[in-house]
Amino acid sequence: MLPDRAQEVVDILRGWGVAAHVAKASPFRHGVRVVINYGTEAVWDTDGAAGLEAQVLGDGVLIGFIPPIPGSEVDGISAEQQARMIAATDYTTLRK
């Protein structure tokens, strides 16, 4: 995800009351970090692959994955659509 897009998605999520931040995986790879609860967070789309997917970390340790969300790999998807997909994620069904 490009830095400007990551910031746009974060701004939308914050506007909805979601604790979101820009995640910098490297100088050229950015994504969205969402706080799930104390010590647990989801890091979205920092790998550069098509589609929105996340790694879920508990106290910095990988505890699960959110597989790519169907429809998120479509070219031209808006920042608001990406934010809606992230905000609608059910973290109780993690793939471990």
Q: Where are the domains of the chain?
A: 3-93
pLDDT in tens, 72-89: 887 789 999 999 999 999
* Contact status, residue 67 vs residue 50, Cβ threshold 8 Å: no
Q: In the chain, which residue ranges form alpha helices assigned H by DSSP?
A: 3-15, 79-87
31 bridge partner residues: 23
Phi, psi angle pair for 45, to nearest 5°: 55, 45
Q: Tell me: the pLDDT tens digits for 5-44?
A: 999 999 999 999 999 999 998 888 899 999 998 889 999 9
Neighbours of 25 (CB within 10 A): 14
pTM of the model: 0.89
